[in-house]
Structure 1
Amino acid sequence: MKIILTTLNSRFTHTSIALRYLYANLKELQNDAKIIEFSINDAIQTIAEKLLIHSPQIIGIGVYIWNVSQVSELIHIIKKISPNTKIVLGGPEVSHEPFRVNLDNADFIIQGEGDEAFYRLCRDIFDAKPSNRIIKMGMPSLKNIELPYKFYTDEDIKNRYIYVEASRGCPFECEFCLSSMDEKVRAFDIELFVKELESLWSRGARNFKFIDRTFNLNIKTANILLDFFLTKEPPYFAHFEVVPDHFPESLKAKIALFTDGALQLEIGIQTLNPTIANNISRPLKLDKIKENIAFLENETNAHIHLDLIVGLPGETLKSFGANLDELVSLSNCEIQIGILKKLSGTYINRHDIEHGMIYSDIPPYDVLQTSQLSFFEIQTMKRFSRFWDLTYNSGNFKESVKLIWQDESVFENFYDFSLWIYSQTDSTWQISLQRLGELLFRYLCEVKKTDVKFVAKNMLEDMMRLKGRVVPNYLMPYTDNFTANNKQGTSGFNKRQQ
């Protein structure tokens, strides 16, 4: 095999649409090319072995923030064993400089969209024509690009998410995001794209993740895509990233028709503070955002995923806490709390001096300290984020976790809880569900002084939502009282500790 296309996905269930674009546009070289995907959990030497066993002349690797360190090690091993194999890198992590991970052993780097450029470079390599090591690309016409969807295998369709895109680019200029570097939004031919979706559906695809940065920017296209799924029989899953202030009535009407579990909308809020939003060149229409979140929460079955960022230039803990309190008051949905990252090529670095921004040069390049947040406060917020995921976002303690704050500040009370639980575990990882539940139970009863029976009732009701759950030892004394006051009894879970 002359050409191997590979990457390390963050999970096994993910697939790389980028590799399939490259493969789809290899023209006559396609018969001598192969896609081989891995995950970041695979052993690097084993990955090298599985690539080199094909004796490739060229290995193209997709490089991202989550795999760049592993890719650096992989390049080192490949070049030690097979120094004549040409290594070509592409992807967001190498499209902008400076490179903060050693990639010196790579032979070529394609910066920008490589759909057509990779083919031309492979031709030059085979024809022994000279080429620059770093190849800077503009944006190719989407009309000239072969679509990649038929190159998802039946195994992909059966076991993994299928990534698709109706457009590329983003019209906004948020300074922390690489998409702000795009000059404009470009759309694929919608009729052709829908035919490709239909083909995937006929092959059994049911899990679709749209990577468009602004799905609801073009309402006509958005309606066409929603209509596609509304004509299909559930169950299926469609994920879209949307802007929060642009939901005209035609879009709302269609979103309201989706059944539970069919539609997921990811909404990048990032901050609700107008001053901070202005700092990072992010448009913020608060009234519209609140109105649309309320609509999605109360009038649809869509699963909503909201994003907030810790460490934005000028943002204090108090300001961030107000953001979180506001979002929780608006919705019961998942709220992802992320830490600001400094990606090469973004404009966020213009705040470094004024706001004392200090970042790690090790992936994922997260902020370590600002003039408003100390290193220790950001460390605390990283743990806050992790415990928030484990308790609030996981859905395992959907109602009982709310007892931490009840009618008071969500942020202030959960902040205290995160400090306490870390004092008990000295870790944010490898905490079993039973251990986590016991800690929550203890905190509510011993620290918050909430009535024990009331806490037990709420935690047992949370457990009832998932059939087959086992009642842990710390709740066993309260099951008889719960059964007497609950018509459903404990049929939803096993009473014996396994």
Structure 2
Amino acid sequence: MTGHFRMSQDPDLLSPDHQGMDMPDTMIARTATAASAGFGAKPTLRVGLVAYNWEADTSLALWNLVTYARRTPAIADRVTFIEHCAATPKSLMDEEAQLFFLLKWQETHNFDVVGFSCYIWNIKFVLRAAKAIKELWPQTVVIFGGQQIRGSYVPFVFDRERCADICVCNEAEVTFRDLLNSFLDGSPKLSTVGGIAYMAPDGNTDDFLIFDGSGRVPAGTAYHETAEAALIEDINDIPSPYLGGIELPHGGAFLYEASRGCPYRCSFCIWGESKGVREYEMERVEAELHNILSHHPSHIMFCDGTFNMRKERAARILEILVEHLRDGRVQPFSLLLELKLEIIDDNLARVMDELVRLNPLVTFEFGLQSASQEAAKLMRRPFTEDRFRRAWNRLSDKLKSSAIIDCIYGLPGDGIPQFMQTVDFCYSLSPHRIQAFRLSILPGSEFERQAQEHEIRYMREPNHMVYETKWLNLDQMAWVETFGFAVADLYHFHGTTIKCLLAMKDQLGVDGFSDLIRRFVDWAGRDRILGSIYAGNRPEGRWRAIDLSKPFEQFIQTRLLPDAGITDPSLRDRLHDLFRYEVTMGRVAVGGLAETPLPALSAGGGAGELAIRVELMHSRFDIPGFIMGAHGRGDIDIMDMDETDSYVAFTQKAGHQGVLVPISYRISGRMAGLIEAARRDTAAGAGLAPVLSKLVKIGIVAEATGS
């Protein structure tokens, strides 16, 4: 490849004060095309690959790139790959720490190329990291790939961000291999590498601009895209990273795909934009899962577009997990699967039910999105309420209690009444959680192409959320977003209280779930509700981004009940204690528990010092019995709560990435007294010795974290 410097700036890309001026000497020393920097004739390459995934600290995408590229002898012999995989920073402090780690990583390894796997949830941090690398090491070639790098966002990266030298669009294994070959030997020529975009000098699309960190683009350089990349016909040609291609971490969090693509083409999604559905051979899937499970994962997330597209195959894959859990080869681990509810048959439902019974950390996620016919038609996702409900009723109560139903507000075809209708339909099914998301216009999606037709106005920068549509103006979108936050938080953390209130709906003058939440939102106001958003996007923020417990109880006690003329102190006391129970469960889930060391007790076997890790609650009502009796039911009568003393111990189990799973137990008054005594006087912990093994098993007593 050949190339050249450009001494002058592009007038269209400069401020008026700088148009027509030559670059200063410092810029001349930094700015280069690939050819002038020596790319295209590199004897060896050092390549750093970076992935920040929401749910995992490993990256299947990067592993696939590396194992596929190493099939080429020249790459295997002359390219050194080092990957850095981590969870996406969830707070400003985490972001700062991760940025400096990444810069030190680059300084230590002096990579020629740094590639980032880009998604909607990590792109803002990736942009910051890429710009920092460019400012410190301007001749390092930065490559972007991943699902975010599609559609209109690709030219946006070059026009606005100017920190990626090459963008890889769509599936990347073949493209990345060809790029490395081009860097090493100049063959294939850059212009013939499919599925990439870059800034090319005029008349030479086989060269590309290496951005220098200044954000300037030399004159005579233009944006260029190559033809679409050829996709891999048989994805089994990708050597398995799980079967010797990569050293797997013990106790790691894994992303896994048994198939690639999706048979559906929902307008808001990009899964169906690729070459149909391609499956890995079942023999390979079984071997890979056996090896992953032998490394005792903390978390597995299946990334298949529609995991249960083929029901028998899906059942067999889950059977592998069941077999390992059943015979104790692996302990329960966090597991997330997204399935299409309507195509679950009895056999698959049976396997799913056993999986949940053996592993309480399993979550099944079902996408409803909208229950309105107009929205369903426009997003090309047919919906029939009866069919969805029949499929839901095929699931056991245990399975339903591990299920999430997703819905989207801001969809074309949906205004406020339609979204409230969707929420009420979700509520009628009594899932474990209801999640509500504002529509994002993903790059490369059908809705991106239809934005003008549906009068969609949205953020051009990530996370591409919708501001307005033909069905919702700006004020309505602001209201429905507040409503959606309240639906998700209150349903999950105060579901039993809500069931009690809706049993009194005629007395309260409330039409149903969505009407109750609407009244609360109108009473509290947007600023008060969204003002409770937690600082920092912690992992548990997926299901508690806000904390509405205090304002919701105030609404009930000072507005809802008084307006209905309800003054019965016994009813109010029951509601208050039930609310206190739910608040404690939420606090344990989000904030964890303090611990009190018990030096008088030994963990045995040199395991270390023990500590009490529990929060106690005393009520004159039998709250545990009431909640157990209400499980799986719809509206429940708060006056069914017996007036009987109860003691509740709250503890938790640690899930993936620090997400805490709250657990409560009914305990005796004597046991509560022993625990309180041990907290006041560590020597009193000896009184717990007769039941120590049981307390350790249920998590009330655990190894001290400081030991």
The reply to whether residue 416 of structure 1 matches residue 519 of structure 2 is yes
Report matched runs for 1:129-278 at 5 Å.
129=187, 130-132=189-191, 134=197, 136-140=228-232, 141-149=234-242, 150=244, 155=249, 157-158=250-251, 160-233=252-325, 234-258=331-355, 259=357, 261-278=360-377
The reply to whether residue 429 of structure 1 matches residue 533 of structure 2 is yes
After superposition, give the CA deviation of every residue in 1:92-128 in whole Å (9 maximum; x if it has no partner).
1113334344343322222121123212211221224
Q: In structure 2, what residue type is equivalent to 1:346? A: S
The reply to whether residue 26 of structure 1 matches residue 69 of structure 2 is yes
2:554 to 434, 442, 467: 442
| Cα pair distance change 1:350/1:417, threshold 3 Å | same
The reply to whether residue 462 of structure 1 matches residue 520 of structure 2 is no
Q: In structure 1, what residue type is equivalent to 2:190? A: S
1:37 to 81, 85, 90: 85
Q: In structure 2, what residue type is equivalent to 1:225? A: I
Q: Percent identity?
A: 19
Distance 1:453 1:167 in 2: 53
Contact 2:239–2:245 under 8 Å retained in 1: no
1:288 to 387, 390, 393: 387
Distance 1:69 1:236 in 2: 30
Q: In structure 2, what residue type is equivalent to 1:87? A: V
Question: How many angstroms does 1:232 deviate by?
Answer: 1.8
Question: How many angstroms does 1:282 deviate by?
Answer: 1.1
1:304 to 369, 393, 403: 403
Matched residue SS, 1:7: strand
| Cα pair distance change 1:491/1:70, threshold 3 Å | closer
After superposition, give the CA deviation of every residue in 1:33-77 in whole Å (9 maximum; x if it has no partner).
111124334223552332232100111111111222332232222
TM-score, scaled to structure 1 = 0.88
Contact 1:384–1:415 under 8 Å retained in 2: yes
The reply to whether residue 120 of structure 1 matches residue 178 of structure 2 is yes
| Cα pair distance change 1:355/1:428, threshold 3 Å | farther
Structure 1 unaligned regions, length at least 5: none
Q: In structure 1, what residue type is equivalent to 2:68? A: N
| Cα pair distance change 1:424/1:347, threshold 3 Å | closer
Contact 2:363–2:403 under 8 Å retained in 1: yes
The reply to whether residue 348 of structure 1 matches residue 452 of structure 2 is no
TM-score, scaled to structure 2 = 0.63
Matched residue SS, 2:365: strand
Corresponding residue number in structure 1 for 2:4: none
Distance 1:349 1:430 in 2: 31
Contact 1:245–1:285 under 8 Å retained in 2: no
Contact 1:169–1:213 under 8 Å retained in 2: yes
- Larger C-alpha radius of gyration, 1 or 2? 2
Distance 2:139 2:379 in 1: 45
Corresponding residue number in structure 1 for 2:539: none
Corresponding residue number in structure 2 for 1:338: 437
Corresponding residue number in structure 1 for 2:696: none
1:108 to 134, 144, 166: 166
Contact 1:404–1:448 under 8 Å retained in 2: no
Q: In structure 2, what residue type is equivalent to 1:217? A: M
| Cα pair distance change 1:95/1:350, threshold 3 Å | closer
Distance 1:461 1:426 in 2: 24
Matched residue SS, 2:95: coil
Corresponding residue number in structure 1 for 2:132: 77
Contact 2:268–2:445 under 8 Å retained in 1: yes
Distance 2:515 2:342 in 1: 28
Corresponding residue number in structure 1 for 2:420: 321
Question: How many angstroms does 1:91 deviate by?
Answer: 0.6
Distance 2:527 2:111 in 1: 52
| Cα pair distance change 1:128/1:276, threshold 3 Å | same
After superposition, give the CA deviation of every residue in 1:114-167 in whole Å (9 maximum; x if it has no partner).
123212211221224441352532321212111222566554x42x42111110
| Cα pair distance change 1:446/1:250, threshold 3 Å | same
| Cα pair distance change 1:33/1:355, threshold 3 Å | closer
Corresponding residue number in structure 1 for 2:608: none
